[in-house]
Amino acid sequence: MNAYESMKLYFTRAADRLGLEDSIRKLLLTSKREVQVQVAIERDSGELATFVGYRVQHDNSRGPMKGGFRYHPEVDLEEVRALAALMTWKTAVVNIPYGGAKGGLAIDPKTFSSRELEAVTRKFIDGIHDIFGPDIDIPAPDMGTNDKVMAWIMNQYGKYHGFSPACVTGKPVEMHGLPGREEATGRGVAIITLKVLSRLNRKPQQSRVAIQGFGNVGTFAAKFLSEAECKITAISDVSGAYYRAGGIDISAALRHTAEHRGSLEGFTGGEKISNAQLFELDCDVLIPAALGGVITKENAPKIKAAIVVEAANAPTNVDADDLLYERGVFVVPDILANAGGVTASYFEWAQNRQHYSWGLNRCRQELDHILGEAFQNVWDVGKEHKTNMRTAAYMVGIGRVRRAATLAGTM
Ligand code: GLU
């Protein structure tokens, strides 16, 4: 089952509980607009390279659409469509005034020079500049993109529309970005993890955490959780996984990646194990923080963690989710667990529109507040309807979107 089918099934379970009419289900599952553009550049070798760029705008009932741009070889329209819908539910769960969108290019950014990536990004924006903007749809970083890419987007967009820093979020701090945006997704994952631990009467000091993925989200989640005295027993990236029963020294791991172009390759602060073994470790919390679809019906029965916190988007296939649920594993869904990123994007957008700079403390305080409220809300709905956190989060999200669409009279 692919990401779109999984999302649809999760949606349907919540829609059933909400008693949503078929006509509204259809409306909420159909994207507003799906755009596909050709992106052709000259490579450093002089060769011509052509890619397909996507932007799916899923729903704008609650505000301008919002969501990242992903540069990854496996990007395709179905995946982008699923991720766009997830953004609609995510922005609604944290109650920020946005709809949902997502975009991407099927390209492996690691195999392109910085000049080539800049050219690809500018060409992509040439193709879609007239369908996004501060009041329409606001892109942001996602897998394979970063603040540098966002700076090119702002600059290219500005060539058509004039100075518009609010047309994209996740920009460098020196270029109308927000201090705290870069760390926000990982910080949010840590905040939500600590809240779950506390609700389940577990102490951070006695909690062993395994984190799959050591990119933007995984590194900051590891940093904040280790600061909260959780024991990070395993981390991983494409080079493999690293395990230490007594807890990995996260500062040492961060130093290692800083000195090795972001890679954990050669890290000696833990025993080397495989990425598959990381999923099966005896630990308390498992945090998938990389690709989607990594928890499958094959590895789900072997997961020993009591809690799974979805830092990645769509990491759990539906059949695997059912298996985890049957086994009593507590799963915190992506649309709540990783919502810290888009929440800080909202602060950045607000800052850009006010032309008033926010500091790191204000960003952190407001982030903690919004995520705290969202967590409580989802927890309460879960208790009231005797359902798991995923269905509860979808119920909160879908309920808000339906209400806004009804109030606007668009139905
Ligand atoms: N790409 C992130 C996500 O999936 C952030 C999106 C945003 O900041 O707009 O939530």
Helix (H) or strand (E) holding 398: helix 389-408
* Residue 1: pLDDT over 90: no
CB of 145 sitting under 6 A from ligand 1: no
Domain match, 136 and 265 both:
no
Q: Indicate whether 121 belongs to any domain.
A: yes
Percent of the chain with pLDDT over 90: 97
Q: Indicate whether 338 belongs to any domain.
A: yes
Structural domain ending residue among the three candidates 165, 194, 222: 165
Q: Indicate whether 410 belongs to any domain.
A: yes
Q: Indicate whether 2 belongs to any domain.
A: no
Q: Tokens representing 258? A: 């800083």
Ligand 1 centroid, distance to 161 Cα (angstroms):
23
Give the count of beta carbons closer than 10 Å to the beta carbon of residue 283: 25
Domain match, 192 and 145 both:
no
Please state the atom number of ligand 1 nearest to the C-alpha of residue 345: 8
Structural domain ending residue among the three candidates 140, 165, 190: 165
pLDDT per position as a tens digit, 348-403: 999 999 999 999 999 999 999 999 999 999 999 999 999 999 999 999 999 999 99
Does 102 participate in catalysis according to the annotation? yes
CATH number of the domain to which 318 belongs: 3.40.50.720
Q: What gap in Å lies between CA 295 and CA 315, rounded to an integer?
A: 6
CB of 233 sitting under 6 A from ligand 1: no
Q: What gap in Å lies between CA 88 and CA 49, rounded to an integer?
A: 33
Domain match, 194 and 95 both:
no
pLDDT per position as a tens digit, 108-131: 999 999 999 999 999 999 999 999
371's CB contacts (< 8 A; 6+ apart) are 94, 188, 191, 192, 339, 340, 343
Please identify which residue in the block is written with the tokens 């596909």: 36
pLDDT per position as a tens digit, 13-68: 999 999 999 999 999 999 999 999 999 999 999 999 999 999 999 999 999 999 99
Q: Indicate whether 23 belongs to any domain.
A: no
Q: Are 381 and 396 in contact (CB under 8 A)?
A: yes
pLDDT per position as a tens digit, 265-301: 999 999 999 999 999 999 999 999 999 999 999 999 9
CATH number of the domain to which 77 belongs: 3.40.50.10860
Q: Helix (H, G, I), strand (E, B), or coil: what is residue 221?
A: helix
Domain span including residue 106? 32-165
Q: Indicate whether 11 belongs to any domain.
A: no
CB of 345 sitting under 6 A from ligand 1: yes
Number of domains in the chain: 2
CB of 216 sitting under 6 A from ligand 1: no
3 pLDDT band (50/70/90 cuts)? confident
Domain match, 77 and 194 both:
no
* Residue 411: pLDDT over 60: no
Domain match, 205 and 156 both:
no
Q: Indicate whether 4 belongs to any domain.
A: no
Sign of CA dihedral 341, 347, 351, 352: positive
